[in-house]
Structure 1
Amino acid sequence: MGFASISTDLYLPAMPAMRAALGASPGTLDLTVSGFLIGFSLGQLLWGPISDRYGRRLPVTLGLLLFIVGSAGCALADSAPALVAWRVLQAAGACVSVVLARAMVRDLYSGAPAARMMSTLMTVMAIAPLIGPSAGGWILAFGSWRAIFWTLAGIGVLTLAALWTLPETLPAQRRTREPLRRALARYGALLGQPRLLGYLGVGGFFYGGMYAYVAGTPFAYIEVHHVSPQHYGLLFGLGIVGIMGANLLNARLVGRFGGDRLMRAGAVGAALAGVAAALAAGTGWGGLTGLLLALFFFVSCTGFIVANAITGALDDEPAAAGAVSALVGATQYGTGILGSAAVGLLADGTAAPMGWVIAVFGIASALSAAWLVGSRAGVAPVPAR
């Protein structure tokens, strides 16, 4: 589950250096985040149904091989467009591990135990973005930005070796037998489920704001507020600490209050924090501290939104966990494309575009949560085949 985070967070401190080395225009390197999200979101739509038919281990193996090749291609890229293209391939491989990790949880758990397990896994997953920017900053201090991508290729190789310790969680008797083309067509039927759309909207719009944060903070912290690349990792890590704390709290509270209630509270909190971030970025209120605090509270809402939204969606359609997990991931990272791209396209030399993009997506997440409240009854699951 950490591949999504580490694939981007490790090179965030190097983005200004990469832009200078490749002669890219302002905002162009933000497209390496958007390109990654394109491959990540679309790839999940294919790998989910494949895993429902053939099990989890084989697709993860193939995905890791793609990730290794894509990472090596990024390290050898000699232009910004080439780097973006290799990032798409890298993401098409990285997404397999993430989407199928969620499906594996649903293979083994359901309801509140699934939400607790998802929160626990996401707490562990948060270690990757916690150490990623700092590690990337130190790699950059002793090497070049290309060494960061060679490091990612090495992580892929090590994970591929470690995969042999992971058992298959979807036995043959529980796999779907429908043709792949029919499984892909079922996405339309799944999107006709109002409650599932609600869960997709809450998590998806929130991820749009999160990836605006990922794409925008290197410029906002390093260039606008003159933070060093090494210290950028520490500031980025503060948000991850908030995510980990919120995930642990969610795991404790979900059995008492229910995932939907905690998810709605998190979405409202994200909307309020997003507006505060927009005001801080646009007016300079509070300087770096004001912006940092608003963003800290925004990203901390991850702990109450993401695990509960994923669990709710998977519990609605347990017979198609791989496909639903893929649809959840495609929605989340698809809106991430919009969020990161918007920051690059609206770049004006200030942190204001990042702040307002985060605010808009936070409000949209809260509105989806409110819509979800009114669409809980009368929804029949889509048949497995």
Structure 2
Amino acid sequence: MNKLLALSVLTFCTLISCTENNEKVQLTDSGLNPEKFKTIVDGKETGLYRLKNKNDMEVCITNFGGRIVSIMVPDKQGNMRDVVLGFDSIKDYIDNPSDYGASIGRYANRINNGIFTLDGVQYQLPKNNYGHCLHGGFKGFQYVVYDVIKASDNEIKLSYLAKDMEEGFPGNTNCTVTMTLTDDNAIKLSYEAETDKPTIINMTNHSYFNLDGNPEKGNSDYLLMVNASYYTPVDSTFMTTGEILPVENTEFDFKIPTRLGDQLSKNSEQLRNGHGIDHNWVLDTKGNINVACASLESKESGIKLEVFTDEPGIQVYTGNFLDGTQTGKKGFKYNFRASVCLETQKYPDTPNKPEWPSCILRPGEKYVSNTIFKFTTNQ
């Protein structure tokens, strides 16, 4: 009898222990374990933060790189799908350098030869991509830990102080990123920055969207719309040539929703130079955030993403360098063209093209940039 009682007590204690452990490890709707996002990077704590609205849409964010890790939205049957690429832990983000979901800075996209001149002073930046500076250099904002200024059920505000001459950029520049999840299934992204010395800045979000929630499937069936009559062509090193050319009668004409695979299958010098689409469009919206500058839609899932911005340009990247060698969330292989990036921005290499929209920020001024990712479903 005593042995039976002892066994019962042991079983009860084991159940309590398991219950407590399960409570401590509560997974997100997208299956992420917040414990795997807790570590120390450069002396600062990292974590996972969850936003949710009344429709059960969920957005998970880590302050490592200011990254959107997952976005759960309903498909046309009401089933929730995770529509962005990413990793299950901070360790994976560190071990597999990438831009997945990141808040990019100090300068998104490329700067020719990593050189620009501001107020008569020439600055040399890192050359980390085909001889150019891409996305802020070897340690752009995607690899830093943002400070969490505010975190609530529907909003998170992140801050990062980029020090003078960090990655070669002048000025102590305080940058903030605010992400707000609204009840109409939109994610509002607001970027702000101030500096104590003339500098350049161009921030964006680098989410890789897969609207089927299946990263092993390519993007060829997606319908893409870009509200633009012109684009900026590139050379074989992905650098803009300085031209602004019409999209009409080219593979870059997406003024009406067009099957992406139909355009990507065309044989052209520009598609060869970009290894597919990796180009900037000159938006017809001209800073009007109330008009969609782009949209992406999957007929299979019925999920549609609309993009709104007050920026003059958008970079569309079709995942041309994904090759199945990286394993992301839930063990999915990230195959060739398994996503589309829609990066609102100033044009690439703007610091060296004064006739293009300025990216210069001076003391006493405030840099402000806004983008909205809005999700809907079509039956």
Q: TM-score, normalised by structure 2?
A: 0.25
Structure showing the higher helix proportion among its residues: 1
Question: Normalising to structure 1: TM-score of the pair?
Answer: 0.25
Higher relative contact order (CA 8 A, sep 6+): 1
